[in-house]
Structure 1
Amino acid sequence: MKFRVCIFIFILFISCKKEVNIPSTLLERIPQDAAILIKINDYDLFVSELKNNSFLKEYQQTTHFSESFDYLQLLSHLKPSNESILSFIEVGKGKLDYFFKTKTSSALLDLKSIPNKTIEEITYENYTFTKATLEDQIAYIYKVEEYTFISSSQLLIENLIRTKEFPETDPKLKKLYDSSSNRKAAVLFLNTKYCQNLTASLKETSTFDLADFSDWISLDAILKQNELKLTGISTCNEGNHTKFASLFANVSPALNSTQFYAPINAQYITSYTFKNFDNYYKNQQKYLEALPKKDTTFQAVQELGIIGLSNDKVILLQTLDAEYLVEILTKNSNNTINYQGNEILKLTNTSFLESFKAILPKFETNYATILEEIIIFSENLEPLQNTISNYKNEATFDKSEVYHSVKNTIADESNILFISSSEGLSNFHQNDIKEDVSEQLSNIDFNDHVVIGQLVSDKDFFHTSILLKKITTQTESNLTAPLFTVQLDHNIESEPQFVENHLTKKHEIIVQDVNNILYLISTEGKVLWKKQLEGKIRGEISQVDLYKNGRLQFAFTTDNQFLILDRNGEAVAPFTMTFEDAQLTSLSVFDYDNTRNYRFLVTNKSNIAMFDNSGKRVDGFYFKDTGKTITKAPKHFRFNKKDYITFPQEDGTLRILSRVGADRITVKEKITFSDNEVYNFENQFTVTDDKGTLLQIDEKGNVDKKDLKLSKDHTIDASTNTLAVMNENTLMVKGKKIELELGLYSKPKLFFNNKKLYVSVTDLQNQKIYLFDSNLNSIQNFPVFGNSSIDLLDMDNDKKLEFVAKDQENSIIVYRIN
């Protein structure tokens, strides 16, 4: 991600200037070791643009700005009537001093009008200059001939006075200046040789240095309220092959296509193109100072794309001869994995892309697959699966809000195209900028920002552009896109479910595999911990706040244990209860009055034990064991301010108890229960029998029957006002029906989010997840791939819904509904 780092450094630089202007005569007497020069054609306009740019406004609120650039405050009082130049020179290590030059005029600077200042005259070698102190900031002002010089460094002014013969202006800078625009408010020039120490003070040592990119960079600065655009050229000295841009000398650009294959949720994409790969490869050998040689393997390749997915990346190769490369890859494969109909090759040659190591260092080609004529590589399996899944769902980066906001600003063909979302910017800010600098810049909000960078080779220079833009218009993508997949150590046993992280208020995922290992997976798809259990978890995991301090624990039963774990997966004493010769159902957790005085009901065959927050049996709960097996875990309902505990028994009795365990309602007939639970529907106890009859029991024990003509294996879910029924391949909700394709369907699940009702079922046979609204209208882009029932909510508090499901036998998948 060399280009990515460069882009952000550019942005930091431009956000640090009170800028200035240069005709060629202005370049004289400018220090030759200036790292940054700014030619300001219209001083007032440029200052106005700086003040009104939303990103720079935020930057000026950071401690980094105040510590680094408060010394520019005298320049805010200037009123130049001519072009000016502002240069930045490293005088002390890691410290930039400014050096400003413009033609002298009567209106340039009125020191008398500035409050809270002290003025003194300094004589040096019979020349006099002014020292102005504004609060704690010092500036030195020297007038000679028709020019005024202002600097934060006394040494730079003294050097100016002392020097009798000035060296000729760097001809490269002069050439760039002469061809620069006089119509833009300002033009930025970077001498990368002298930027090295400055960039080193900002970035981690492992990241790319601006000095490695090119020799000179000239960029017009175009600042709008919600845009910061730099556009111009970069140059490399003739014969200098050590600069990154020189890789693309005499390399014709091709159409960038990475955006059409990258997942919609990619943090960034970088596309490198070369119509003539041979020229690129020759440049790379010189860049790497390696012996010249020819590479015929990739001679038909026209693009290499890098797709950033969280902390992983996948690599794309677009080639005119995919069949040839696939044949080579197949010979270097020792295993294949089928994923959603795509064959993934497990490669034995992990350095297959060695021919691109200048733009792709340290990447292991462990896996590969082909999408149409595009070959995709990855180091880890999950990001490759994510890419396949998004592509099959037509949820690609070109349909993202990020891409839509910038697509009209980028050229169709470029040697380098870089686009980063706000997530990519934040990730870079946190990982590639030094920790102390990152902390100083913490006030900058990158939400809804996108960065684009492009480089196009042209004869002996490179068109270069960088744009930081705020997304001001929202686009409706209406896409359901895979967010990430996570592979477990073994096949999955339980259906994955969301659990709340009480620290972040976001949601994570908890799931168990067939070896009884419990996993907690973060909002970003990283395994936080694994916990070996003795048995299979029964039903869902409940979250409780045992100590009433906002910290949540996980409560559940296995075949013979009742356990509560804390957030770190550690057992909470005394909740490590083992029941000998037990056949426990799922744990029932009641909080009658929402006071967090929990009642934990552990059901073992025909018996129920109730425990409190301390793990003690609850005094006053007396349940008489009738010897009849309880087939479903007890549930709690409240009707008309009365509490009921209800469950079915194997003998056809529906038991309805009071809080103390005594029978409260006697149901007047036996029921041949289906395999469904008891629900509160229409404020009645609601069940179905194995003949497809809906039975509703009131508080007097009266039974009302409705023959729904359901098959024996029908499934239901219900809320107070809604009943959902899955009967063979027909889904019924609120009296409406929809017939789905033939398959083997999971039970329907109702979800209430953002005041909307959703119902979901999964075709387990054909591995399709369906999602409907309350009127059985399909949510756009459904069905999608999946292997289990789902859990659905706003996982990361971004006002967009996510859902999790089983993916392959040993992996989960999380989708986002955009």
Structure 2
Amino acid sequence: MKRLLVFIAILLLAGTGYFTYQKWVKHADLSPWSFLPQNAALVYESDNILERLSQIQDMPVWNNISSLPPFSSLSNNLYLLDTLAGKGTFSNVFGEASSLISVHITSSSTTDLLFITEIKNISQHTYLSKALAYFRDKGYKKKTREYMDFTITEISHPDSGDSFAYIFFKNYFIGSFTAFLVEDAIRTIADDDYPSFSERHGELFQVARLDQDAGNIYFNTSRLSDILGTVSKENISFNLANSSFLDLKITEDAVNLNGFTFSPGNRDFLSIFDKTGGAAFDMAEIVPGNAAWMYHLTFDNNEVFKESVNDYLMVKSPNIFEVRNKILGDYDFDIEHAFTLLDAEIGIVTVESTSRYLNEKLLILEVNDMGEALRFFNTMTERYATSVSDSIYIEQYGEQEIRRLPTDNFPQLMLGNIAEGFDQSYYMNYRNYLIFSNSIYQLKTLLKNIEDEEVWNKSLRFNRFLDRTNNEANFSLYVNTPRSWSKVLGEIKQDWVDYANNNQQALRNMEYLAFQFSNIDSKYYTNITLYQPPRLSSGGQYAIEVEKAISLTDKVSTKPYLVTNHYTKQKEVILQDVKNNVYLIAPDFEALWSVDAGSQVTSDFFQIDYYRNGKLQYAFATAESIHVIDRTGEYLPGFPVKLGENIKIATFNIVDYDNSRNYRFAVSDAKGNLYLTNKDGKILDGWGPLPLESPITSPLRHIRVSGRDFMVALQQNGSITFKTRRAENYPGFPIKTETATTSDFFVNRGNNFTSTYFSTVTGSGELFEVNFSGKVTKREQLYRPNTDTKFSIISDVTGDGYLIVRNTGRRYEVLDEDGNVLFEKDYFSKSPMLIQYYKLGGSVEWIAFVDATDQNLYIYNRSGQLITGGPLRSGVPISVMQFENYYEIYLAEDNQLSVIRVIK
């Protein structure tokens, strides 16, 4: 897009000192629409654009939009316009000019604008003469040429190459930065075989207009794929509808477009709703808060909906029926029967994925009879298993049963390309919803989201957005801009990536988008909402304020861990001081109790449900013992537990194979021995102890893949060890890197052994990636500037990703997963910096550096900007709690525990 998106600013570049009136007898009744070519993708219409701009210029949402190029230069251009012929002249002369601004696709990757305005009086011509003189003084050159008996004038600058072409016909001005668009306008008025936009889309001009809106938008919806194609790296083929008319309204916190969309015939996607009404958005109760975007389909008759979907697919994707019939013949699985199970809603959710290998999705079906729905899908999996002499994949996760559907791409075979991306499908039920995902890990995460109330209908921020939308639309696309940011950047062309990154703050402030269509009398009431919550992100730095603090008797020695009060569900803090006292701190920052643990804690603090009754306890380890304390500060019977008189615990972790709360304690000692006990501390067979070649770098970790349990460890000598629950090696393991390391490791969870990856880096900088089949998939030496340089992996605290740290002396460099440098910092600390990585969602990432000696805390974003303006004070690692409008940072300096509120 070149410079300006409004016609007013274009008049700075175009004009004439006289009015050339051409007589054209056969065009006696003209309007701006007479010149507009039929191939316009979008048209903006206003009868008084200056007045509309003056009405919205102080609104927060417009202030945000106007910071985006090319809107950002609008104020300066308007000021210049208004002073060319004396202050206020432009507003008075052009205040009521009827104007059209249209968007046209000029190549596979570019668009440009055509400007059409009516010239009503001689004052406008006088003004244009002064504007042209201004540009002559700035070095612009003028030339003319003939085209179909019209004189096209072009002004251009010899240095910049900027060029603008225009014509006058009768009392109309037509201009563009792309000359052939002016030629298109000429053909439209001069050639009877070249219809105008209004002739091509006559249905749009039968819709009633609002008088006091910010203008009208006419959208050639049939060209949606072409428009998206100018931005997307991949070809997009999606026929939504034929055309749309929308009234534009701008309020304090939103841009709203309301009107009607037309979709004749069954070639357009909206045609599947032609014969059905809509339903309420009930499934917002289970859409996860980390959803990037969601397609929501509703209907009031599942049989009619099925027929309409099939009619549409028969035109757009007829091969689907061949695949459906084959599956029906091979496995007696009638995909069309799935429609009869539906109640009123379907949701197709794309999640803000933490995986670089998997585009994680959910298909949510609201069903009318869960028993029948489960019987239908479960018996299909059983028939398939019998036919191929295989077992049924069933995984028990807590009280939930998860199964794998053996049919590939079931959602796409049911609904078409809008539901593509499910090469494998796992499914489970929750209430009256049958939920499918291409990632079994995502189903487990969804259950945690629901339990923690991290779903759309529990978000006040999202509910304020929903209040501005149509709750019973047939078809909706909801977009969370921050959550979809990284995915969108991966799909668009580099020029648009650069534009997005350069204008990230303004674009991300438009936090929620909705595009909605509701069937009303063979046309679709359309609502488009771009919502900007009242509180805007401040970009690199945030507003900081101390919220609360407590002074303990002695210096804090551990990270302040956030734990949950099982009665109130509020967050509390558990930590230890240098005198070995473990404290539980209430939400109001009063100490509830303290317990002498006997020595320093060597592990994280974990919360467990030891008795499986919903009441939570605290588990941790010291060098001598395993400890479990209830929320009143009392030890559970039998605790603390010693594994042996001479065993010094080095690492400790909690294992829960299937979310059943049948816990195992995973322990290692300083000699390299592994122990696995039951929840009472009794050592299990094969693990008493299990000796390794060297100590492990981080706690033994349990990973379940395709129903198998892996006990994963990285030894300090570089050996990668995968054990079964019986303490046996998996085939292909251990894998010896032959290089010492003290680094952590990261596991990227996939659906099977080949798509699940173990990643680590050796101390000398060799990056290893191994899949769970035992194959080394990546072995790459990172740049090592010095023989003293050390490398380590820093995993996100929730296990959603990792960064690499390269440390040479006092210099610390932070690298991404591929070894690209993100930023570097120098510290004059007397001890190694303690580093944490937080992926907070919405492409917000924090990297925290703690200088434990001088008790300085530095928190950076991914670009290396200090988000707090200056260092904070902490001598231990931090904890972070995220809320809708702010973050809370829990930190400790000496004996003082504090909470810092960071305003988004």
User: TM-score, with normalisation over the residues of structure 2?
Assistant: 0.51
Which residue matches 1:298?
Answer: 339
Distance in 1 (CA, whole Å) between partners of 2:570 and 2:120 is 60
Percent of aligned positions with the same letter in both sequences? 14
Q: Choose from 745, 752, 755 the match for 1:520.
A: 745
Distance in 2 (CA, whole Å) between partners of 1:126 and 1:358 is 48
Distance in 2 (CA, whole Å) between partners of 1:13 and 1:276 is 48
Distance in 1 (CA, whole Å) between partners of 2:3 and 2:569 is 37
Structure 2 unmatched ranges of 5 or more: 10-28, 83-89, 326-334, 354-359, 383-391, 537-567, 573-653, 659-663, 669-696, 702-710, 715-719, 721-743, 751-755, 764-784, 795-801, 810-827, 834-851, 855-870, 891-903
**Is the CA contact 2:61–2:251 (under 8 Å) kept in the aligned structure 1?**
no
Distance in 1 (CA, whole Å) between partners of 2:424 and 2:107 is 45
Query: Compared with structure 1, are the counterparts of its residues 306 and 756 closer, same or farther at alpha carbon in structure 2 (3 Å cutoff)?
Result: farther
Which residue matches 1:471?
Answer: 533
| CA RMSD after TM alignment | 5.4
SS of the aligned residue for 1:116 comes to helix
Query: Compared with structure 1, are the counterparts of its residues 234 and 151 closer, same or farther at alpha carbon in structure 2 (3 Å cutoff)?
Result: same
Query: Compared with structure 1, are the counterparts of its residues 16 and 299 closer, same or farther at alpha carbon in structure 2 (3 Å cutoff)?
Result: farther
Distance in 2 (CA, whole Å) between partners of 1:360 and 1:799 is 35
Distance in 1 (CA, whole Å) between partners of 2:202 and 2:488 is 34
Query: Compared with structure 1, are the counterparts of its residues 274 and 196 closer, same or farther at alpha carbon in structure 2 (3 Å cutoff)?
Result: closer
Alignment of structure 1 residues 279-428 onto 2, 5 Å = 279-289=304-314, 290=318, 295-301=336-342, 302-311=344-353, 312-331=360-379, 332=381, 334-353=392-411, 354-364=413-423, 366-428=425-487
Which residue matches 1:41?
Answer: 47
SS of the aligned residue for 2:205 comes to helix
**Is the CA contact 2:40–2:104 (under 8 Å) kept in the aligned structure 1?**
yes
Which residue matches 1:809?
Answer: none
**2:521 maps to amino acid:** K
Distance in 2 (CA, whole Å) between partners of 1:15 and 1:244 is 33
1:106 pairs with 2:122: yes
Query: Compared with structure 1, are the counterparts of its residues 207 and 30 closer, same or farther at alpha carbon in structure 2 (3 Å cutoff)?
Result: closer
**Is the CA contact 1:794–1:801 (under 8 Å) kept in the aligned structure 2?**
yes
Alignment of structure 1 residues 486-497 onto 2, 5 Å = 493=666
1:120-153 per-position Cα deviation (integer Å, ceiling 9, x unaligned): 4736376556544588644344333343333334
**Is the CA contact 1:273–1:415 (under 8 Å) kept in the aligned structure 2?**
yes
**2:218 maps to amino acid:** F
**Is the CA contact 2:249–2:256 (under 8 Å) kept in the aligned structure 1?**
yes
**1:512 maps to amino acid:** L
**2:117 maps to amino acid:** K
Which residue matches 2:19?
Answer: none
Query: Compared with structure 1, are the counterparts of its residues 271 and 179 closer, same or farther at alpha carbon in structure 2 (3 Å cutoff)?
Result: same
Distance in 2 (CA, whole Å) between partners of 1:231 and 1:487 is 53
Distance in 1 (CA, whole Å) between partners of 2:461 and 2:512 is 6
Give the superposition deviation at 1:382.
Answer: 1.5
**Is the CA contact 1:121–1:131 (under 8 Å) kept in the aligned structure 2?**
yes
1:514-571 per-position Cα deviation (integer Å, ceiling 9, x unaligned): 34247634999996715799xxxxxxxxxxxx9999987479xxxxxxxxxx975999
Query: Compared with structure 1, are the counterparts of its residues 14 and 180 closer, same or farther at alpha carbon in structure 2 (3 Å cutoff)?
Result: farther
Give the superposition deviation at 1:398.
Answer: 0.8
**Is the CA contact 1:270–1:305 (under 8 Å) kept in the aligned structure 2?**
yes
Q: Choose from 257, 265, 271 the match for 1:230.
A: 257
Q: Choose from 177, 181, 186 the match for 2:209.
A: 181
Give the superposition deviation at 1:757.
Answer: 14
Distance in 2 (CA, whole Å) between partners of 1:371 and 1:480 is 27
Distance in 2 (CA, whole Å) between partners of 1:189 and 1:205 is 26
Distance in 2 (CA, whole Å) between partners of 1:527 and 1:488 is 21
Distance in 2 (CA, whole Å) between partners of 1:192 and 1:351 is 28
SS of the aligned residue for 1:252 comes to coil
Query: Compared with structure 1, are the counterparts of its residues 345 and 44 closer, same or farther at alpha carbon in structure 2 (3 Å cutoff)?
Result: same
Q: Choose from 425, 439, 453 the match for 2:515.
A: 453
Alignment of structure 1 residues 423-442 onto 2, 5 Å = 423-442=482-501
1:214 pairs with 2:214: no
Distance in 2 (CA, whole Å) between partners of 1:104 and 1:472 is 41
Alignment of structure 1 residues 723-742 onto 2, 5 Å = none
1:444 pairs with 2:531: no
**1:315 maps to amino acid:** L
Give the superposition deviation at 1:299.
Answer: 1.6
1:244 pairs with 2:272: no
Query: Compared with structure 1, are the counterparts of its residues 418 and 494 closer, same or farther at alpha carbon in structure 2 (3 Å cutoff)?
Result: farther
**Is the CA contact 1:281–1:355 (under 8 Å) kept in the aligned structure 2?**
no
Give the superposition deviation at 1:493.
Answer: 3.6
SS of the aligned residue for 1:34 comes to coil
**Is the CA contact 1:264–1:398 (under 8 Å) kept in the aligned structure 2?**
no
Give the superposition deviation at 1:325.
Answer: 0.6
- Equivalenced residue count is 549
Query: Compared with structure 1, are the counterparts of its residues 71 and 258 closer, same or farther at alpha carbon in structure 2 (3 Å cutoff)?
Result: farther
1:205 pairs with 2:234: yes
Distance in 2 (CA, whole Å) between partners of 1:594 and 1:127 is 75
1:276 pairs with 2:295: no
1:86 pairs with 2:316: no
Larger CA deviation: 306-315 vs 514-523: 514-523
Query: Compared with structure 1, are the counterparts of its residues 88 and 19 closer, same or farther at alpha carbon in structure 2 (3 Å cutoff)?
Result: farther
Distance in 2 (CA, whole Å) between partners of 1:254 and 1:43 is 38
1:621-674 per-position Cα deviation (integer Å, ceiling 9, x unaligned): xxxxxxxxxxxxxxxx99xx9xxxxxxxxxxxxxxxxxxxxxxxxxxxxxxxxx
Query: Compared with structure 1, are the counterparts of its residues 198 and 403 closer, same or farther at alpha carbon in structure 2 (3 Å cutoff)?
Result: closer
